[in-house]
Structure 1
Amino acid sequence: MSVIGNILWFVFAGLWQGLSWILVGCLWCITIVGIPGGLQCFKMAGLAFLPFGKEVEYGGGVPSALANIVWLIFGGIFLALEALVNGVILCITIVGIPFGLQCFKQAKLALMPFGAEVLPKS
């Protein structure tokens, strides 16, 4: 079932959200200081492309919290707003609700990507 969900997700929302993560990651990688942020963006782009069958665990402690504050100012708000708007649009129909919920998961992740781990759903 997650394969079908991922295919439909990719067509209706995943392509745009994944490309946004990659674009932001490329912008972060322009400077040497921003490379850790860019690498995190590339990791999260994989989840944005195919989110069904995966879950996110948050943690990381104080270093991750500080990195998330910097991230929020320089990139997270735009990705979170994109996912939030996409989720609201997808939740208009009953069929789109599971996809809208995935968008809301992406929005939360866009606000706090550092310290987050993407794991297969158990």
Structure 2
Amino acid sequence: MNTLLNVIWLVFAGFWLAVGYVLAGILCCVLIVTIPFGIASFRIAGYVLWPFGRTVVDRPDAGAWSTIGNVIWLLVAGFWLAIGHVLTAIPLFISIIGIPMGIANLKLVPVSLMPLGKEIVTTDRWMAAYGR
């Protein structure tokens, strides 16, 4: 079921959202100081392409620098990417088939707002790590 949802997601929303993240990542990598933001943006772009069956968890070794970086990211790019997710989720909720994709789109908002200090893992690995 995850594969079917991922293919439908890729066609209707994932590709264009991933393009936005890749463009943000390229821009961040051009500006040398913001390369960590670019790497986070590329990582999220891969997650946006194929979100079903994966989830985002906090990294235990993330420190104060990732918090400071998240505040900068929020002001520069995160807010706009989150708006893109919300605007993409609205038309997905209109159809019955699009409801799971709209929910997945809203699930991507927190990671688009604060990507540093997060790790993208498969849901099987997440459940095993937390004993579920």
TM-score for both structures, normalised by structure 2: 0.88
Deviation at 1:83, TM superposition (A): 0.4
Q: Which aligned pairs between 1:73-84 and structure 2 lie closer than 5 A?
A: 73-84=75-86
* Secondary structure in 2 matching 1:55: strand
Aligned to 1:71: 73
Which runs of 5 or more structure 2 residues have no equivalent in the other structure? 125-132
Identity over aligned pairs, percent: 37
Tell me, in whole angstroms, the C-alpha distance in 2 between the residues paired with 1:17 and 1:32.
Answer: 24
Check if 1:115 corresponds to 2:85: no
Q: Residue deviations 1:50-88, cap 9 Å, x none?
A: 001101112424221111000011111111000011112
Q: Which aligned pairs between 1:31-70 and structure 2 lie closer than 5 A?
A: 31-59=31-59, 60-70=62-72
Aligned to 2:129: none
Aligned to 2:128: none
Tell me, in whole angstroms, the C-alpha distance in 1 between the residues paired with 2:11 and 2:76.
Answer: 28
* Secondary structure in 1 matching 2:83: helix
Q: How many residues align?
A: 122
Q: Residue deviations 1:20-60, cap 9 Å, x none?
A: 00000001111110111101100110001000110111242
Tell me, in whole angstroms, the C-alpha distance in 1 between the residues paired with 2:94 and 2:111.
Answer: 22
Check if 1:93 corresponds to 2:89: no
* Secondary structure in 2 matching 1:34: helix
Tell me, in whole angstroms, the C-alpha distance in 1 between the residues paired with 2:93 and 2:58.
Answer: 25
* More divergent stretch after superposition (90-99 vs 49-58): 90-99
| Aligned residue type for 1:6 | N
Tell me, in whole angstroms, the C-alpha distance in 2 between the residues paired with 1:33 and 1:43.
Answer: 18
Check if 1:22 corresponds to 2:17: no
TM-score for both structures, normalised by structure 1: 0.95
| Aligned residue type for 1:12 | F
Instruction: Give the root-mean-square deviation of aligned CA atoms.
Output: 1.0
**Structure 1 moving runs of 4+ over 6 Å:** none
Which runs of 5 or more structure 1 residues have no equivalent in the other structure? none
Q: Which has the larger radius of gyration?
A: 2
Tell me, in whole angstroms, the C-alpha distance in 1 between the residues paired with 2:52 and 2:22.
Answer: 19
| Aligned residue type for 1:49 | L
